[in-house]
Amino acid sequence: MTWGLPMTDLRWWHGAVIYQIYPRSFQDTNGDGVGDLPGIIERLDYVAGLGVDAIWIAPFFKSPMADFGYDVADHRAVDPLFGSMADFDHLLERAHALGLKVMIDQVPSHTSAEHAWFRASRESRDNPKADWYVWADPRDDGTAPNNWLSIFGGPAWQWEPRRQQYYLHNFLSQQPDLNFHQPAVRAAVLDNMRFWLDKGVDGLRLDAINFCFHDAGLHDNPPKPPAQRTGRGFSPDNPYAYQYHLYNNTRPENLAFIEAVRELLDRYPGVAALGEISAEDSLATLAEYTTGKRLHMGYSFELLTDDFSATHIRDTVSRLDAQMHGGWPCWAISNHDVERVSSRWGGNQPSAPLANLLTGMLCSLRGPVCVYQGEELGLTEAEVPYEALRDPFGIAFWPRFKGRDGCRTPMPWLPGPHGGFTTGTPWLPVPPEHLQLAVALQERDPASALNGFRTFMHWRRQHPALRAGTIQFMATPEPVLAFTRHTADETLLAAFNLSDTPITLPLVVAGTPRALHGHGLPDGVLERGQLQLPAYGALFAALDTTRHEEARA
């Protein structure tokens, strides 16, 4: 048997629970309707009380906000919308005092069109930053140089009259792609990372890290058969799904840059890199990007789909686990880009027991996990009317795809006006149904999703196997997901009923099970080879494998 990591070899990110904060929607302190850094500081005691290990803060850098901060105009400045650099320094100090690690986003592959680098680059073909972005001449008929498409719809090329050339944008036209074939660009991007590492952040979440390099030959992407036009947000409604994206991202040259990132981070003990990866085969790319001296962790989207089944979860996690060689996966079932999991997997009326089951299941998988703000409350996807939409992705694809605003509505802290998020008008409306899930109400209800979340997180810390152990799945029928987690000192069995109906099935385990309680989920029972799980219930059991191993000997 291959054992998990000894506790003495653990780093803070091994098996960590990372709480994702979307600053615009967390807490507003100045009444402008947009969350800010002082608001995060105000709520850090709440976050620490959840029992999580770290926070990941989405971009708060200076930006025209075309993509709400993922279009960076100055990598080293806090946008006044969110506060000041002094606020960030205070946030970092306060988080560390509470025992929380702090990760921040870095957006290496592109900038805002308002960035000083791009404003210089677009002026001419012979200025010092002329080749800092991906520029290309038109075809003879004036059309774009190739068939590459933007994730947000339409061609990935925008005409620039100053240069009489097109520039590449894999995302919005206001997000021009940097030319990573230019060494000065790579050096500048690393230098921006160094700025924040010198400030004392504990980790970097690297947005769209596999999009840094493009094919210098600008070859056309091959077409994808209709049956394969699927993926996160890339339904047949989006032309992006019509291609295999072989040339505009996930290029082999990117591996050397990732190794350079790791070399930089290794100069800062205790700092980790988490790469966001969305590729043709994201699991294979994730494994490749976390091999050896590359990224510490990889983050993919396979559990952010509509497929809520034991088979999908088991196959996804086990397939990646088989490919990993020293790196760590990072799992998530919600984030700021997809429909909230309570609605995506729970339908129109999800319950607190489902929310707690999902927390227990996610946080029992091997590797660190990212928990999106509001997940601990069981928040549902908000129905945002067209006239209130802010997301350009949703506006472009309405009504077939409503964009990302429904998962970005403000946190409900109180059951009163705007959920206690702001004294002004919130940038997105707070749905009335979220007010019934407000933190203040849930804190008073022992059976709430919030109290269930806290109970499980604090219980989880008592079991090293859930943080450091290897994982081995068991062959169970739907809707049961079962696996063991192993370290040299502890072997745990975890089994989850993903349905709202009690279930009984035979289950044979290697060892003598001793049920563990106090995790906050409805308790299952394993007796005489029969597993009984209540609706949305779970069984956690310590396995004494001593007698089993002696019998085998």
Residues known to be catalytic: 207, 276
Strands lying side by side in the sheet with 157-160: 135-136, 165-168, 157-160
Residues 6+ apart with CB under 8 A from 356: 449, 452, 453, 456, 520, 521, 536
Helix (H, G, I), strand (E, B) or coil at 387: helix
The closest of 413, 351, 469 to 15, measured between CA atoms, is 469
The secondary structure of 477-515, three-state, reads: CCCEEEEEEECCCCEEEEEEECCCCCEEEECCCCCEEEE
Contact 340/374 with Cβ under 8 angstroms?
yes
Half-sphere exposure of 466 (CA within 13 A, CB side): 24
Distance in angstroms (rounded) separating the CA atoms of residues 209 and 170: 12
Using the structure block, give the residue that is written with the tokens 């152990």: 469
Which ranges of 98-249 would DSSP assign to H, the alpha helix?
Answer: 116-121, 183-199
Distance in angstroms (rounded) separating the CA atoms of residues 26 and 269: 30
The secondary structure of 168-180, three-state, reads: ECCCCCCCCEECC
Distance in angstroms (rounded) separating the CA atoms of residues 450 and 352: 9
Using a 10 angstrom Cβ sphere, with 0-12 exposed, 13-18 middle and 19 or more buried, the burial of residue 131 is middle
Using the structure block, give the residue that is written with the tokens 């904060």: 21
The CA–CA distances, whole Å, from 31 to 48, 67, 439, 494 equal 25, 22, 20, 46
Quick one: residue 233, left, alpha or beta (phi over 0 = left, psi -120 to 50 = alpha)? Answer: left
Tell me the β-bridge partners of 508. Answer: none
The closest of 126, 128, 144 to 136, measured between CA atoms, is 144
Quick one: residue 38, left, alpha or beta (phi over 0 = left, psi -120 to 50 = alpha)? Answer: alpha
CB-based burial, 189-215: b 16+ in 10 Å, e otherwise: beebbeebbeeebbbbbbbbbbbbbbb
Rounded to 5°, angle at Cα 375 from 396 and 431: 55
